[in-house]
Amino acid sequence: MDLKPITHGNNHYEMPLEHGNLHVFANAEVFQSFEDKVFEMADNNLRIPRNKHMSYTPDAHVGIGTCIGTTAVWGMIDGFVSPSIVGVDIGCGMRVHTTPLHKKDIQDKEIRRTLIKAIEKYVPTNERTNTNYADIDIIQVVKHGLKGLPELYRSNEQWLTHVEESTFKFDHAYLENLPPKIQKYAHGQLGSLGGGNHFIEIQYLEIAEAHKDLAAKWGLFDGQVVVMIHSGSRAWGARLGQEFTKVFRAVMQSWGVENPDRNLLYAPIESREGQTYLHLMYSALNFAVSNRHMIAYGVQEAFREVFGGETELPVLYDLMHNYALKEFHRNQTMLVHRKGATRALPPGHFLNTAAYKETGHPALIPGSMGTSSYIMVGKEEGAKNFYSICHGAGRARSRKATKALVTVDQFAQSLKVGTDEEILVNHRSLQTILDECPQAYKDVDQIIDSVVGASLADVVAACKPMVAIKGV
């Protein structure tokens, strides 16, 4: 596409497309790497009427209907909601727990291998293996989020307060519109990891010099061992996504609404279909935050088995990067879609949870196996992008292309196999997870440089991987 971007400086470009303007936050190297397809998809998205704002973060890449890395905003009164700009893994997000351990405490490979086995004992990594939480009522969880869990699993108050939301409220009457057999498919999945790019990583921190005081307020220190969890709403969100793909496609056809991309689906927020989707989407957000909570519960049990029964893993923060939330911006109420985009609120912002009102909350950005992840904090200047930043490194190539281009030896080298600094994985054969190797992703340091250079957020700590646990 022969496009001439408007350059605002500070890694901020504005692309004048046929149907509206797209904001892109990326450094020059990342911006030049975007393929024409991502701009074509943005223009299709901008055909949806009365759009208030649309942007890409630097990790943006082609998705189904909408690029991953998109923030898209409409007014609540006359706007639109799109399942395509939420994504099928509704509520997918990140969670980090701190530990009292230092890197040197788990440097020995045998300790780390023991820890991997213990975690797999409590957290199923096989898609066909269910968890054993028979005392958890899924309907109570999707209605009330963390507050719908039995007391045993929510006895630690700190685990309920250091989260983006402990309960996403909605009209429970809409549960009458659930897809058939959704409970059957989701049964036994609460507290399970899932496949694809989901993971549990054990990492150690390198604190940024400029934010040592903030890190200390958050309870972080150099060399500290932390646990990063990436997972979503599992079958609950997937079934809702599949169902509303059919519903929205049918209603668009009945209204005579067309788009060049048949996978881009949308409806007015105030329509029956729009309201039903929004309310049930919140049920999936409740499942997702509870799923990560229960994964963390299993991880803490594993740490206690290895390091002693009194070991505590306080939660640093839990947030999501696939959702549509009603938020107040620019003196009006808006529906902010984030598909592969992370909310990063600055210090003092009224949307911050009480625990982080003063400092701003930790924004959790995963890298890839073999590379750093990051803990960031939002800045006031982030208002220009509705306080959205990247959600990770972003795929550079498809799974199929990765398997064709990258060898197992190259993958092993990126994990430092055979050295004292080896990043241990839970798979006997790297071939089984080759499509998740670091070479499948963009350079995460370039992504972070783009975000920092755009004054959207700052780095508080880099998280260096020591153990990577993937699902199958």
- The set of catalytic residues is 391
Q: 369: annotated binding-site residue?
A: yes
SS3 of residue 108 by DSSP? coil
d(CA 371, CA 366): 9
Q: 201: annotated binding-site residue?
A: yes
Q: 65: annotated binding-site residue?
A: no
Q: 367: annotated binding-site residue?
A: yes
- What residue type is assigned to position 177 of the chain? N
Q: Is 381 exposed, middle or buried (0-12, 13-18, 19+ CB in 10 A)?
A: middle
| Radius of gyration from C-alpha coordinates of the chain | 21
Backbone angles phi, psi at 456, to 5 degrees: -85, -35
Of the candidates 181, 183, 191, the one whose C-alpha atom is nearest the C-alpha of residue 129 is 191
Q: Is 237 exposed, middle or buried (0-12, 13-18, 19+ CB in 10 A)?
A: buried
Backbone angles phi, psi at 469, to 5 degrees: -115, 120
**Pair 39, 62: CB distance under 8 Å:** no
CA 456 to chain centre: 17
d(CA 414, CA 370): 6
How many beta carbons lie within 10 A of that of residue 371, not counting itself?
19
Q: 279: annotated binding-site residue?
A: no
Helices (H), 21-130: 28-33, 36-45, 109-122
Q: 321: annotated binding-site residue?
A: yes
d(CA 372, CA 97): 16
**Pair 179, 158: CB distance under 8 Å:** no
Q: 393: annotated binding-site residue?
A: yes
3-state secondary structure 356-375: HCCCCCEEEECCCCCCCEEE
Q: 368: annotated binding-site residue?
A: yes
**Pair 416, 422: CB distance under 8 Å:** yes
Q: 438: annotated binding-site residue?
A: no
Q: 322: annotated binding-site residue?
A: yes
Q: 102: annotated binding-site residue?
A: no
d(CA 144, CA 148): 5
Q: 198: annotated binding-site residue?
A: yes
Q: 61: annotated binding-site residue?
A: no
The two structure tokens encoding residue 37 = 């397809």
Residues within the annotated binding site?
A: 89, 197-201, 230, 321-322, 366-369, 373, 391-394, 470
Residues within the annotated binding site for GMP?
A: 197-201, 321-322, 366-369, 373, 391-394, 470
Residues within the annotated binding site for Mn(2+)?
A: 89, 198, 230, 321
